[in-house]
Amino acid sequence: MKSLETRLRALRDSGRKALVPYFMGGLTPDWIQHVEAAVHAGADAVEIGIPFSDPMMDGVVIQEAALRALRADTTLDSICADLEALSNSVPLIAMTYFNIFHHYGLERSAGKLQASGVSGAIVPDLALEEADEWIAACDQHDVATVLLVAPSTTPDRVRRLGQATQGFAYASARMAVTGRSGGAGDAARVVQSIREVTTVPTYIGIGISSEEQAKEASGIGDGVIVGSALVQIILDGGGAGEVESFVRSYRAAIDG
Amino acid sequence: MTDPPYMSSPDQRGRFGNFGGRFVPEALMPACLELESAFVDAWADSTFVEEYHRVLRDFAGRPTPVTPLERLSDKLGIRLFAKREDLAHTGSHKINNVIGQTLLTKRMGKHRVIAETGAGQHGVATATAAARLGLECTVYMGEVDTVRQVLNVFRMELLGATVVPVTSGSKTLKDAVNEAMREWVTCVEDTHYCLGSVMGPHPFPWMVREFQSIIGHEALRQMREHGVDTPDAVVACVGGGSNAAGIFAGFANTSARLIGVEAAGGAAVVSGSPGVLHGMRSLLIQDEFGQIEEAHSISAGLDYPGIGPEHAHLAEIGRAEYYPIGDEDVLDALALLSELEGIIPALESAHAVAWIAREAGRSLPTGSSVLLNLSGRGDKDVAQVRAMLRGES
Ligand SMILES: Cc1ncc(COP(=O)(O)O)c(C=O)c1O
């Protein structure tokens, strides 16, 4: 079992619901401080977006963040270099599109992630059927390959995805790209279908953009992923202080 | 050349050699699988195939003729023929594909289609086919293209479609595809994504080629009627590559050279490298970090930084050749065909004309027989061409 999964299983078994904020790597020069602020405020793991020019699964907020990060010359290498300054120790999970790793080299990408303290990767456009080589590369470097299950996923696919996912299963709450608010949506059904086939922790994302929605989703799954709502704050000029109070209030909503 | 037959079906995973596949979010996987099985089923069903051919005949005006281009032939010293997709309903080859896909949409029990468009030709064709079948239709079009092709926007609206300008990224074709994919995720239950070229995730590259292969099958027969058993070369412009794939399909297993002409500012075979975009592994124009670059072309329909995966494969195995043509040669070619033959070609098709004009007497030896796929008519471009010739843009 990959170390990410060992940690996230232990977290679940301790009775704590995971809160996983998403940051776009390189969005601002001080983005690492945002990550630290989130950890300080009670994040249990952090997703690090690596910007791609054509983010097919992202709505306008993360598209804009990717564009800004790219304009600031952000690359896989620059993000990994920035991560060296990170002093905390919650699990880090990279999120990007397959072309970034394909171009960098699969084996080399996985090695780079591991060397930078990243223990998981989410590649939303890499369908399970195309993922063998990537999973094999990640297996060499203790990087967990986290797979998504969507409301449209058929039962036979849930079984295969549930068996193949590592670290946690990413339950998509809605049929939508990131950044469309709306709460837990189909999450209960999706989580239920995943739990029938695997004991891996199940986190809910896509559509969670308020404390109430986070609370609702954490009552269904083992954790909650919050992306666009947080990234919007940074796009609007918010700094580490705003990030900290954002995460703190989500933490309180989930725990309360 | 290695193992014919060329241009047969892709493998189980939708691969043509090293290219193709299905790189889509899980949310779209079930729809892609459903589409694949619906297409396989329909394409083997004579009722469906007959209806497709009947609609192409009665509605779209097929078969389109092959015209000997006599004055241009004299000028270039070759025997040049044009497959007249400009004479198909809506003015380009795009209608062949959308007739197939909208019939399939109905067969799958869906009542709405979405589409991306660059020049607007695929959007107009989709809106047309949707109107004919009473399907709802929404077309995503880069904001830049809605300005360049403002009349096509109006045409789509006349046909009852909704046109959504796309303001993300480079605001051209690639972003229109991104946006259509994002939308498809939200409505995949009742909506079919009517992709406009031989690109995207499996089964699209294969299915669109099959729906376009009527061009090549007709042309092979028609060339024989003109006394040419096998032309020495078959030349087509390439954006995503659907008109080229369609005509190549008729000649892939003959001795004809197959030549695809890309816009120099979007020449994925010449300037690209392997990558993954829009659901496929193919050749893409990208920077050293794998970020997709913006294509630049005088013609909105060729403004795409990639190429269909089967073309990437045909290039890799050497069965087809791909060459770039710069914007500067395209206007001359458009004028040449207009003045000598009385046919105003689309800017896209004019790329193929420009390559032939340049290569006649060189890599197209004097006296050789050449089949040009005239993918569309130039009416949509005349305002733009007029402005350019007057130095206004
Ligand atoms: C007339 C015409 N030819 C060619 C193309 C390029 O598409 P493809 O390469 O798929 O044939 C277009 C696209 O808009 C077009 O309108």
- Residue pLDDT, tens place only, A22-53: 999 999 999 999 999 999 999 999 999 999 99
Q: Is B94 a catalytic residue?
A: yes
How confident is the model at residue A256, as a pLDDT?
Answer: 87
Ligand 1 centre from B393 Cα, in Å? 22
Q: Which of A129, A132, A178 should we substitute to test contact with B (largest number of B Cβ atoms within 10 Å)?
A: A129
User: Region B317-340: what's the mean pLDDT?
Assistant: 97
| Percent over 70 (pLDDT), chain B | 99
| Domain total in chain A | 1
Chain length of chain A = 256
B3 found inside a domain: no
In a domain, residue A32? The reply is: yes
A124 touches chain B (CB under 8 A): yes
Closest-CA distance of chain A to residue B95, Å: 27
Query: Per residue in A153-206, pLDDT tens?
Result: 999 999 999 999 999 999 999 999 998 877 788 999 999 999 999 999 999 999
DSSP tag of B294: P
Q: What percent of chain B has pLDDT over 90?
A: 90
Q: What is the arithmetic mean of pLDDT over A224-237?
A: 97
B375 is catalytic: yes
Burial class of residue A199, CB neighbours in 10 A (0-12, 13-18, 19+): exposed
Name the helix (H) or strand (E) containing B17.
Answer: none
Structural element, H or E, at residue A192: helix A187-195
Environment class of B289 (CB within 10 Å of its CB; exposed 0-12, middle 13-18, buried 19+): buried
**Same-domain status, B161 and B202:** yes
Answer yes or no: do B81 and B143 share one domain.
no
A119: enclosing H helix or E strand? strand A118-122
Pairwise CB contact (< 8 Å): A63 & B13: no
* Residue B4 maps to a domain: no
Check CB contact of A10 with chain B, cutoff 8 Å.
Answer: no
What is the Rg, in whole angstroms, of the alpha carbon atoms belonging to chain B?
19
Total domain count, chain B: 2
The answer to whether residue A5 scores a pLDDT higher than 80 is yes
**Cα dist. B136→A79, B120, B203, B204, B330 in Å?**
44, 17, 23, 21, 36
| pLDDT averaged over every residue in chain B | 96
- The per-residue pLDDT for B4 is 65
**What is the structure's pLDDT at A87?**
82
HEC profile of B314-331: HHHCCCEEEEEECHHHHH
More confident residue, A256 or B179: B179
Angle between helical axes of A240-255 and A31-40 (0-180°, round to 10): 30
Question: Cα torsion for B52, B55, B370, B340, to the nearest 10°?
Answer: -160
Distance (Å, whole) CA A52 – CA A103:
12
Domain CATH number, residue A138: 3.20.20.70
List the structure tokens of A121.
């990767």
Beta bridge partners of B202: none
B149 compared with B182, residue with greater pLDDT:
B182
What's the pLDDT score for residue B1? 46
Is B320 within the bounds of a domain? Answer: yes
Question: Measured between CB atoms, does A106 come within 8 Å of chain B?
Answer: no
Structure confidence by residue, pLDDT tens digits, A81-99:
999 999 868 999 999 999 9
Rounded to the nearest angstrom, the distance between the alpha carbon of B243 and the centre of ligand 1 is: 7
Chosen for mutation from B178, B289, B292, B304 (greatest number of chain A CBs closer than 10 Å) is: B289
The pLDDT value given to residue B170: 84
Instruction: Please state whether beta strands A144-149 and A118-122 pair in parallel, antiparallel, or not at all (unpaired).
Output: parallel
- Which of B73, B83, B85, B94 does the annotation list as catalytic? B94
CATH number at residue B165: 3.40.50.1100
| Domain termination residue (choose one: B207, B239, B259) | B207
Do B98 and B82 belong together in one domain?
no
User: Could you identify the atom of ligand 1 that is nearest to the CA of residue B197?
Assistant: 10
Q: Out of B128, B177, B197, B258, give the residue to mutate to test ligand 1, the one with the largest number of ligand atoms within 8 Å of its CB.
A: B197
Q: Which two tokens stand for residue B313?
A: 């494969």
Contact B118, B145 (CB under 8 A): yes
Protein residue with its CA nearest to atom 12 in ligand 1: B301
Answer whether B181 touches A (CB < 8 Å): yes
Final residue in a domain of this structure, among B190, B207, B224: B207
Q: Does B225 touch chain A (CB under 8 A)?
A: no
Q: What is the pLDDT of residue A183?
A: 79
Q: How far is the CA of A47 from the centre of ligand 1 (A)?
A: 40
- Of the three residues B186, B207, B228, the one that is the final residue of a domain is B207
* Cα–Cα separations (whole angstroms), residue B276 to A34, A121, A148, A194: 31, 17, 19, 29
ipTM score for this prediction: 0.96
Residue among B85, B89, B95, B121 to mutate when testing ligand 1 (max atoms within 8 A of CB): B121
pLDDT at residue B335 greater than cutoff 60: yes
Share above pLDDT 70 across residues of chain A, in percent, rounded to a whole number: 100
Return the structure tokens found at B169: 């990224």
Taking residue B123's Cβ as centre, other Cβ atoms within 10 Å add up to 34
A58 is catalytic: yes
Q: Give the structural domain span for A106.
A: 3-145+205-255
State the residue range of the domain holding B275: 61-92+212-389
The number of helices, as runs of H, and strands, as runs of E, in chain B is: 16, 14
Chain A residues with beta carbon closer than 8 angstroms to that of B291:
52-53, 70
B44 with B115, same domain: the answer is yes
Q: Are residues B243 and B310 in the same domain?
A: yes
Ligand 1, residues B87, B92, B124, B349: which to mutate, most atoms within 8 A of Cβ? B92
Alpha helices for chain B (secondary structure H): 29-43, 46-58, 70-76, 94-107, 121-133, 143-148, 150-158, 173-187, 204-212, 214-225, 242-251, 268-271, 309-316, 327-341, 347-359, 382-389
Q: Kindly report the number of other CB atoms within 10 A of residue A21's CB atom.
A: 27
- Residue A92, helix vs strand vs coil: strand
Please give the Cα distance from B86 to B11 (Å, whole number). Answer: 33
In contact, A183 and A216? CB cutoff 8 Å: yes
- Are both B281 and B158 inside the same structural domain? no
How far does B136 lie from chain A, in Å, by closest CA? 20
Sign of CA dihedral B54, B56, B60, B64: negative
Contact B300, B173 (CB under 8 A): yes
- Quote the distance between the C-alpha of residue A84 and its chain's center: 19
Rounded to the nearest angstrom, the gap between the alpha carbon of residue B62 and the centroid of all alpha carbons in its chain is 17
Taking CA atoms, B170 is separated from A66, B11, B166, B301, B331, in Å, by 14, 33, 9, 14, 24
Cα A163 from Cα B304, distance rounded (Å): 38
Check residue A181 and give its pLDDT.
72
Residues B100, B151: one domain? yes
Q: How confident is the model at residue B391 (pLDDT cuts 50, 70, 90)?
A: confident
pLDDT of B393 above 70 = no
